[in-house]
Structure 1
Amino acid sequence: MALPFPVEDVIATYLRAIDAEADGLIEGLYLEGSVALGDFRPRTSDIDFVAVTAASPQGAALAALERVHARLRYRWPRPFFDGVYLTWDDLRAGPASVGSRLHSHEGRLHTDAGPVSPVTWHTIADHGVICRGPAPAVLDLWRDPRALAAWTDDNLDRYWRRLCERACRPLSAWGLAAQSPYGAVWVVTGVARLHYTLATGGITSKDGAGRYALETFPARWHHVINEALRIRRADRARPAPSSLIAGLAEFLPVGFTRDRRSLYATPQARRRDVLAFAEAVIADAHRLHSGGRGGKERNERPSTQE
């Protein structure tokens, strides 16, 4: 597939730099996330990667990667080049056997990474963009739909429900973030993506999750779903205080904002619908999984009522 700007340039810069520093270190490079799922937004998306090495980088190899990521961050401060370094054995073994691995977050390398997600393996297998290395189809990639469904079901509570509980406190960090354009997109499309995975066994993008939600959930939720899609497609919302401040302009009279007008009268009203939608989706997603249908049934409608 043709890579959107500036993804192709960032990848080319990275590969030239690491090959000059440590030729042969990077044996495979695959893109996942929004690029692979056809939903890359140049102002708000990251470039998500999986780099494959023969062994976990240590010593001189690790130092070379640190220099390359520092130069790449200077040359391309945005979008972030974020991802994980795995081995070929890791790809065959799956996330439960991998543990923590070297990873890049917001363009900076970290050696204390948390456990990687089965979503990575399934995205590479089904949608991965090849920048270097053999096609995913010829690799003995780990795949386990039941493990993916179990991880997804757990993540609904371990991450999303906890986040929404924090967002219910108006003066907390997430209470404020939930009133921002970024918060609306993150929560609405985030829980819808997990529902999609439990319902279909597949992986979808933020935009794909919004479209799925419009087709799947009752009309009472369409207002907040359309709001999230509007913000996502405008490509302006970032996880930063400036996004919250700039987002307030969406609630000014129409003459001041033109196409940036929110579908809501106030950020507080939007936040209430965002959190209510998330609670409804989480509950219905748990119902799908507890019924033993996660990752299997593709056509069943959710039980949320209008």
Structure 2
Amino acid sequence: MSIELIPTEFLIRADILAPGLIEGLYLQGSAALGDYRPGISDIDFVAVTDEPASLDLVREIHGGMPRRPHFDGLYVTWADLRADPSGLPPGPAVHEGRVSSSRFERNLVTWHVLAQAGVPMRGPERPEVFTDWPALAASTRENMESYWRPWARRVRLSPAGLSSWAVAWGVLGVSRLRHTLVTERVTSKTEGGRYALRSYPGWERIIEEALRIRCGGEPRYRSPFRRRADLLAYLEFALDPSAPPDAALLH
């Protein structure tokens, strides 16, 4: 299935049910960063309206959308995009088919991806979007501490650490953040993994396995227990702020 089919179907439904509501539609996430994987990735969107959209109307539009892949995203106004997302109130969002008022994806990562590489399906090719790299860098470091360290501790004590999903999520997720801090731009999971493969001698096997799970190829492990041990060791290394060669993490 072409990645454009679901956004196109969304626009058709929205235009029939609420003519003129959707003034802009942009793909972000893996679709914008060149890392969309059919069967693995969701399609992430930002829908832009002139005035805030009502939850009931958003539910009606998304009620008839396909369940797979997930068409996940948020509704904002043009003024919202020009503002610091940390100061915005919750608003309409869609996550795995469920519509709610939340802060889902209302963050600097989304705003930076839109400014950097958002794929326009409707509206100006490059809308005016608020960006703040120092704040994004700080939140990226905070995310490593507040999300990834606890996640690594949970995986150490859980059978989930034996799964292929945990290997790809953990290795590529952390590598992506480190690459973002070095390059000062939001990067994809695959790009982060390839950066780690070039940059971290001695960790090739577990990084290659994570990339293999996401991109395809031959398994690098026979034992899921050995693989989990290498996953945990890599996370301990990659979450250490002093680990070379990421000088940006020391700032």
Name 1:179's counterpart in structure 2. Answer: 162
Query: SS at the partner of 2:25?
Result: strand
- Flag the 1:284–1:94 CA change in 2: closer, same or farther, 3 A: same
- Report if aligned partners of 1:98, 1:115 keep a CA contact under 8 Å in 2: no
Amino acid across the alignment from 1:227:
E
Name 2:191's counterpart in structure 1. Answer: 208
Query: SS at the partner of 1:102?
Result: strand
Amino acid across the alignment from 1:280:
F
Name 1:284's counterpart in structure 2. Answer: 241
Shift of 1:262: 2.5
Name 2:73's counterpart in structure 1. Answer: 83
Shift of 1:207: 1.1
**Bigger mean CA deviation after superposition, 273-282 or 123-132:** 273-282
One of 58, 67, 70 as aligned partner of 2:63:
70
Query: SS at the partner of 1:49?
Result: strand
Shift of 1:290: 5.5
Name 1:98's counterpart in structure 2. Answer: 88
- Report if aligned partners of 1:101, 1:111 keep a CA contact under 8 Å in 2: yes
**In structure 1, how many angstroms separate the alpha carbons of the residues matched to 2:48 and 2:221?**
45
- Report if aligned partners of 1:99, 1:115 keep a CA contact under 8 Å in 2: no
**In structure 2, how many angstroms separate the alpha carbons of the residues matched to 1:85 and 1:282?**
33
**In structure 2, how many angstroms separate the alpha carbons of the residues matched to 1:135 and 1:190?**
29
One of 165, 172, 176 as aligned partner of 1:193:
176
Name the count of aligned residue pairs.
249
One of 25, 29, 32 as aligned partner of 1:33:
29
Q: Specify every segment of 5 or more residues in structure 2 that has no aligned partner in the other structure, as ranges.
A: none
Shift of 1:160: 0.9
**In structure 1, how many angstroms separate the alpha carbons of the residues matched to 2:193 and 2:213?**
11
Amino acid across the alignment from 1:80:
H
Q: Specify every segment of 5 or more residues in structure 1 that has no aligned partner in the other structure, as ranges.
A: 170-174, 235-258, 293-306
Amino acid across the alignment from 2:229:
R
Query: SS at the partner of 1:44?
Result: coil
**Residue 57 (str. 1) matches residue 78 (str. 2):** no
Q: Please list the CA deviations of residues 78-102 of structure 1 after superposition, one character each: whole Å capped at 9, or x if unmatched.
A: 1100011111111111211214222
Query: SS at the partner of 1:284?
Result: coil
**In structure 2, how many angstroms separate the alpha carbons of the residues matched to 1:102 and 1:285?**
40
Q: Report 1:148-159 matches (<5 A).
A: 148-159=136-147
TM-score by length of 1: 0.77
What percent of counterpart residues are identical?
42
Name 1:304's counterpart in structure 2. Answer: none
- Report if aligned partners of 2:241, 2:250 keep a CA contact under 8 Å in 1: no
- Report if aligned partners of 1:101, 1:115 keep a CA contact under 8 Å in 2: no
Name 2:210's counterpart in structure 1. Answer: 228
Name 1:267's counterpart in structure 2. Answer: 224
Name 1:117's counterpart in structure 2. Answer: 107
Shift of 1:115: 6.5
Q: Please list the CA deviations of residues 151-178 of structure 1 after superposition, one character each: whole Å capped at 9, or x if unmatched.
A: 1000001111111111111xxxxx2222
**In structure 2, how many angstroms separate the alpha carbons of the residues matched to 1:87 and 1:221?**
44
**In structure 2, how many angstroms separate the alpha carbons of the residues matched to 1:209 and 1:180?**
20
TM-score by length of 2: 0.93
Shift of 1:195: 0.3
Query: SS at the partner of 2:63?
Result: helix
**Residue 161 (str. 1) matches residue 149 (str. 2):** yes
Q: Please list the CA deviations of residues 254-300 of structure 1 after superposition, one character each: whole Å capped at 9, or x if unmatched.
A: xxxxx6x53112112111111211121111378745532xxxxxxxx
Query: Which has the higher Rg, Structure 1 or Structure 2?
Result: 1
- Flag the 1:115–1:49 CA change in 2: closer, same or farther, 3 A: closer
- Report if aligned partners of 2:181, 2:249 keep a CA contact under 8 Å in 1: no
Q: Please list the CA deviations of residues 190-231 of structure 1 after superposition, one character each: whole Å capped at 9, or x if unmatched.
A: 00010011111011111111111111112x111000001111
**In structure 2, how many angstroms separate the alpha carbons of the residues matched to 1:177 and 1:7?**
30
